[in-house]
Chains A and B, each alone.
Chain A
Amino acid sequence: MDTSLITQQNLPLTGHLAVDQEMLSSVFAGCSDVVFHTFETACHTSALCVYCIGLCDTERLERQVLTPFQEMGIEAAQVPLASVKSVETTTQAVQAILEGEALLLLEGSMIGTTYPLYKAENRSTEEPLAESTVRGARDGFTESLTMNMSLLRKRLKTPALKIHTRNMGDRTNTSISLVYMEGIIDPKLVQEVKKRLSDLKLRDVLESQYIEEGIVDQRYSPFPQMIATERPDVVASNLLEGRFAILVDGTPFTLIAPVTIFSMLQSPEDYYQNVFMSVFVRWLRYIFFVLSMLLPSAYVAITTFHQEMIPTVLLLSIARAREEIPFPALVEALIMEIAFEALREAGVRLPKQVGSAVSIVGALIIGQAATSAGIVSAPMIIIVAITGIASFMIPRYAASIATRLLRFPMMFLAGTLGLTGVMLGVILVVIHLSSLRSFGTPYLSPVAPTMSKELKDVWWRPAPRNKPD
């Protein structure tokens, strides 16, 4: 009660050490990591230093602030440290302490001084686990916002790279940064994002998904309208294409928008390798993207409704495999798909050492035993396996979620209306994609609506842009 009163009222510092200490310690009552250190300077003024143990580098504090004060009697502003700031109110003081700065108050002075002595306690950059690459940069974002910003700045050494940082979340007070390249991005887009960010009222921000859900155009869509990536080179390449990024403190996952379905299926690595290889891989991805959504339903539809489409020899072997199976194809497909999704989810959650056990169980029990027990047919296992591999081919994890989810309604449509049903499902998905926009950009552009200039980036991989003459 009292605490919130002081922070809310934004009281000015009084200059009486005892009063100020009283105010601050009532705010930090019960926070054992906040230290109040009273001492006397060389000029015989009493002084108070407040800092947070875990966040503030105590060694440097002693060496660079406390010792000079106690022994040499210097002025508060004379401490040789970069970005020393002064605070005049309790709110500012509390904020500074929570961000890891050390606050110094002197008796008789109504202005406090803060010293940025953050302790850099972070893991170092590692290769991102979820997005590995054969060729290309191997550093990944970390949980520290400042480090992430530096990773970006290292790649884009230009003042055109703008970074706007603000705090979000009433309780978590998380720093987030809006990053874009001035001169490349549409200024209206920046305005719109800033507006959406200010309109967003969040209590907590623990991960970038919190932000994403608040600012996208259409929350209820299986298709992601922002890319989340751990790789600085992905962010840099997207910034150069006129997109913006949102970095969130405390998570390595950075958001990028606006995106289209095609940017989900492209990867900056396409530019790191031979043109023909990239084009080949792009088309492979398009095909497998469609397969990952439609393959099980196509199998169900064809084996249930349109057997005449299957070549006779193949039909015979499928019929032989399915002879002993007690379920209709739809049920069989559902069982296998759900089992596959369960295995996949279990594999993600388990520690690495146990993870291999899951794959053994999956391969042996589900694959081998279920077939020989006559519960599932072998062709079905092949279909599920291809579908699984197809969904791993999509470079953006979030985009594969859509196909994984949509696979199930598609199977139901296939089981009830055959290929007609599958086509109706496809039409529904395309209708949804046509109406979807990511920050104003139609999700199916540049194909529909057509933008002939950008179209080449869809069916071919254009050369890296040359400097204009």
Chain B
Amino acid sequence: MYGGVQHQGTNRIRTIHTQAIKGEGLHMLTDKGKISETQLAFMIFPAILATAILSVPGITMHYAGHDMWLSPIIGSIIGFAAVAISIGLDRLYPGKTLIQSSVSIAGRISGKLIGLVYIIFLPHLTGLIIRTYGEFIVNNALPRTPLFVVMGTMVAVCALNVRLGIEVVGRTSQIFVTLLIVLLSLIFILLIGELNPAELFPFMENGPLPSIKGALAPAAWFSEYIVIAFLLPYVNRRKRTTRVMLGSLLITTTAMTVINLFCLFLIGDLTDSFVYPVMIAARYITIADFLQHIESLIIAVWIFGIFVKISVFLYIFATSTAEWFGLKDYKPVVVPLSFLCMVYAYWVVSGGSGASSLIGPSANLYTISILLILPAMIYGLAWLKKGWAHFRKNQANT
């Protein structure tokens, strides 16, 4: 298709890019589209926060008490590590996603095995996100609608979005995240009058340990920053990547801390007794004693965020699978994989306990080990390999 004025640059970069990759034969990207760094940042923001906003305040309150607002800040170290690993891998193996570079790093068989871990893990994670969405909507907005309908409609919409390519995913996230940020900020501003900052004290009552313990859950969410490693090859104009990604990390951390602070200032100690504390906080909003109970509005806005989150993970799942099998195009696998994620949404939760019980410490460790520790090992291996090659070269010279 013809690209307009503003796309000439993109097209040129794309041509150069494909030429660079052609030499490698197998490692073609499965999507021809390109996004900008800002669009990537827009995609990541809800990819972390959309579900974190529901669960993180409650969990951190449970472990850290009044210091719960410190936990996201501590947890963001994990996010920093994930960003560093992603950008580092991209520098060593430019134009390759994590699935592709792990083959180059660890060799064909073990590299494919690492890829397999992700292909097994991603539907797990995506299914859990879909389940969280479904349960949240059924509990708060549509109590009599079957879970299947709620989840199915959303997955269908996301699958359509993903099928249209990374450019469309990038643009939709840009639109929705802008709306989301504006409306949520507005809601938080309306709440300022209700805040009780005295809840902050006693500060560090039991030393720093509780807030570090509480940081495990935010850390699990921050480890999702590894999605950058899957998406960086699709980014054009790569001048400020590091700066934009660190800026994104800063904004996400701030947002998470602010959400925690609001819950603390509004609900105080009771925060961990609610499944969705933010929804309780939203009930405090009254505008001129006239507009009340605008939780439904918050749910409506939140749907935009969860839509972006599911789309991002579905996209990564689809492209990773296509790359793993060596397909040229990821589009044909989107619909079957979306269906698989739907099925996983039922499999991840056993019995009637609901998704919230699943987000315990062990689940957090599981997420962190696959989204952070495994990539860290790959990155370490890549450096070892590079060092070894350097060492061999030096020996050969002397």
List residues of chain A with CB under 8 Å of any chain B CB. 186, 188-189, 192, 217, 242, 258, 302, 305-306, 308-309, 311, 417-424, 427-428, 430-431, 434-435, 437, 439-442, 444-445, 447-451
Contact = CB atoms under 8 A, between A and B. Distances in A.
Interface string B149-164: 1100110010011001
10 contacts: A188-B2, A189-B5, A421-B153, A424-B153, A439-B4, A440-B4, A442-B4, A442-B171, A444-B175, A445-B6
A417 B174 CA distance: 25
A443 to B, nearest CB: 9
Given A186-B5, A423-B304, A449 B36 contact: yes
Contacts of B4: 186, 189, 258, 437, 439-442
A295 to B, nearest CB: 15
A439 B1 CA distance: 9
B6 A434 contact: no
A419 B171 contact: no
Contacts of B38: 450
B172 A447 contact: no
Contacts of B304: 423, 427
A308 B303 CA distance: 19
A441 B6 contact: yes
Q: Kindly name the residue among A311, A424, A427, A439 whose own CB sees the greatest number of chain B CB atoms within 10 A.
A: A427
Interface string B1-25: 1111111100000000000000000
B258 interface: no
A431 B164 contact: yes
Given A242-B5, A311-B291, A440-B4, A431 B303 contact: no
B141 interface: yes
Question: Would you list the 7 A-B pairs with minimal beta carbon distance, nearest first?
Answer: A440-B4, A434-B171, A448-B171, A448-B174, A441-B4, A306-B296, A440-B2
Contacts of B170: 448-449
Contact of B299 (A419, A437, A451): A419
Contact of A427 (B2, B141, B293, B307): B307
A423 B160 CA distance: 15
A3 to B, nearest CB: 41
A242 B290 CA distance: 48
B338 to A, nearest CB: 14
Interface in B189-235: none
B297 interface: yes
Contact of A434 (B8, B142, B175, B292): B175
A420 B307 contact: no
Contact of B157 (A422, A427, A442, A447): A427
A119 to B, nearest CB: 42
Contacts of B7: 440
Interface in B120-146: 137, 141-142, 145
A89 B293 CA distance: 81
A192 B176 CA distance: 32
Nearest to A444: B171
Contact of A435 (B36, B137, B164): B164
B39 A306 contact: no
Contacts of A437: 1, 4
B348 interface: no
B142 A450 contact: no
Given A188-B2, A305-B142, A441-B4, A428 B171 contact: no
Contact of A417 (B5, B153, B290): B153
Nearest to A195: B2
Nearest to A196: B2
B381 interface: no
Given A417-B142, A434-B168, A447-B175, A424 B157 contact: yes
Contacts of B172: 427, 430-431, 434, 448
B1 A447 contact: no
Contacts of A188: 2, 5, 8
A67 to B, nearest CB: 56
Contacts of A444: 171, 175
Interface residues of B, number: 45
Contacts of A217: 1
B293 A424 contact: no
B181 interface: no
Given A437-B1, A444-B171, A451-B6, A431 B292 contact: no
B142 A418 contact: yes
A46 B228 CA distance: 86
A192 B5 CA distance: 12
Contacts of B36: 449-450
Nearest to A191: B2
Contacts of B6: 441, 445, 449, 451
A424 B304 CA distance: 9
B300 interface: yes
B294 interface: yes
A107 B36 CA distance: 73
B154 A424 contact: yes
A437 B154 CA distance: 25
Contacts of A189: 4-5
Nearest to B36: A449
A309 B296 CA distance: 7
A188 B12 CA distance: 14
Contacts of A435: 164-165, 168
Contacts of A242: 5
A422 B299 CA distance: 12
A306 B176 contact: no
Contacts of B299: 419-420
B294 A430 contact: no
A441 B157 CA distance: 24
B290 A420 contact: no
Nearest to B288: A311
A430 B176 contact: yes
Q: Kindly name the residue among B6, B39, B303, B307 whose own CB sees the greatest number of chain A CB atoms within 10 A.
A: B6
B137 A420 contact: yes
Contacts of A306: 141, 296
A427 B297 CA distance: 15
A431 B311 CA distance: 11
Contacts of B300: 419-420, 422-423
Nearest to A428: B157
Contacts of B150: 417, 420
A419 B140 CA distance: 12
Contacts of A447: 174-175, 178
A431 B157 contact: yes
Interface in B291-316: 291-294, 296-297, 299-300, 303-304, 307
Nearest to B164: A435
Interface in B97-118: none
Contacts of A192: 2
Given A189-B4, A192-B2, A311 B292 contact: yes
